[in-house]
Structure 1
Amino acid sequence: MIVEVVGGADELPEVRVVDVDDLTALQLALGAVTDEEADQALRDAGLGRVQDADTGVLDLAALRAAAEPQAGSHDWAQRWDGMVGQAREAGRLVDDGAGLQVRVESAAGA
């Protein structure tokens, strides 16, 4: 699953949740936006925040609410729970388990 923050100099950044059926990896991909613009867009969307240039924190409840209606597989909820469990075991949950730390990457082509 990918949370994208995309935009340009003349437009407001937009947050999109894509590839929701791929729960093997969770990425925060930034397009042509500054870290500050991305942080504000994520906060405005209620999906999380940019922690620093390399790390973001995504709100798990908000992300699930945005992604699950787009899911195409019958076992999506079970696979979501598995992904969150793996993140917990890896020590990537923050905010008392409400948030998940993810790497910030470039949204190539966005």
Structure 2
Amino acid sequence: MIVEVVGGADEVPEVRVEGVDDLTRLHLAVGALTDEDVDGALRQAGMGRLLDADTGLVDVAALRAAAEPRATAADWAERFDAMITQAEADGWTADDGASLHVHVEPAASA
């Protein structure tokens, strides 16, 4: 799954969740935006926040709420729960398990 924050100089940044059925990876894809714009967009969307240029936090409940309605796999909920359990085991959780640490990468659409 990819949490994208994209927008242009004259656009309001947009947060969207893409690749909702791919639960083998999770990262934050950022378009041509400042760190402040990315952090503000994530916070305004209730999706999380930016820690630094390389790391963000994504809220687990917000991620699920954004992705689950668009999922097509019958076992998606179980696979999502397994992804969160694995993230916890790997030490990628924050905020008492409410958020996940994610890597920041350039957005393909940037």
The TM-score with structure 1 as length reference comes to 0.98
Matches of 2:48 and 2:99 in 1, distance apart? 8
Is it true that 1:28 corresponds to 2:23 in the alignment?
A: no
Q: CA deviation at 1:52?
A: 0.5
The answer for the alignment partner of 2:94 in structure 1 is: 94
Matches of 2:87 and 2:100 in 1, distance apart? 7
The answer for the alignment partner of 1:103 in structure 2 is: 103
Q: Which amino acid aligns with 1:61?
A: A
Matches of 2:73 and 2:11 in 1, distance apart? 34
Matches of 1:86 and 1:8 in 2, distance apart? 35
What is the identity percentage for the equivalent residue pairs of Structure 1 and Structure 2? 66
Q: Which amino acid aligns with 2:85?
A: G
Matches of 1:109 and 1:66 in 2, distance apart? 20
Show structure 2 runs of 5+ residues with no match. Answer: none
The answer for the alignment partner of 1:51 in structure 2 is: 51
After superposition, give the CA deviation of every residue in 1:21-43 in whole Å (9 maximum; x if it has no partner): 00000010000111110000000
The TM-score with structure 2 as length reference comes to 0.98
Q: Which amino acid aligns with 1:57?
A: L
Matches of 1:64 and 1:12 in 2, distance apart? 24
Matches of 2:61 and 2:37 in 1, distance apart? 22
Would you identify which runs of 4 or more consecutive aligned residues in structure 1 move more than 6 Å? none
Q: CA deviation at 1:108?
A: 2.1
Matches of 1:31 and 1:65 in 2, distance apart? 23
The answer for the alignment partner of 1:69 in structure 2 is: 69
Matches of 1:26 and 1:108 in 2, distance apart? 15
Show structure 1 runs of 5+ residues with no match. Answer: none
Tell me, what secondary structure is at the counterpart of 1:23?
coil
Aligned length: 110
